[in-house]
Amino acid sequence: MTKAKEKLTFESALTELEVIVEKMEDDDTTLENSLSFYKRGVELLQFCQKELEATQREVSVLEAGILKKFEGIDES
């Protein structure tokens, strides 16, 4: 499977971001390559932010359901 067709995960995006940072910190990286790395980094950052937001929403929904169950328990 080619890299473009692989499903991007939060973890793989973070790993790729780490590699990009290393490459951008390399003194031999050209300005043109730095710009390409930067653009890809922005894409990955946006992806990670969306994934985190979706996970936060899911956790909130799960917590709300748990809290409703606890509120409904009669302790008498």
* Burial zone of 28 (CB within 10 Å; 0-12 exposed, 13-18 middle, 19+ buried): exposed
The whole-number pLDDT of residue 63 equals 84
Q: For 11-22+29-72, which CATH superfamily applies?
A: Exonuclease VII, small subunit (1.10.287.1040)
35-59: average pLDDT: 97
The whole-number pLDDT of residue 37 equals 98
- Provide the 3-class DSSP secondary structure of residue 28: coil
Residue 37, C-beta contacts closer than 8 angstroms, at least 6 positions apart: 20, 23, 24, 29
Instruction: Give the amino acid at 43.
Output: E
Q: How confident is the model at residue 15 (pLDDT cuts 50, 70, 90)?
A: very high
Structural domain boundaries in the chain: 11-22+29-72
49-69: average pLDDT: 87
51: which DSSP letter? H
Residue 45, C-beta contacts closer than 8 angstroms, at least 6 positions apart: 17
> Is the model more confident about 57 or about 4?
57
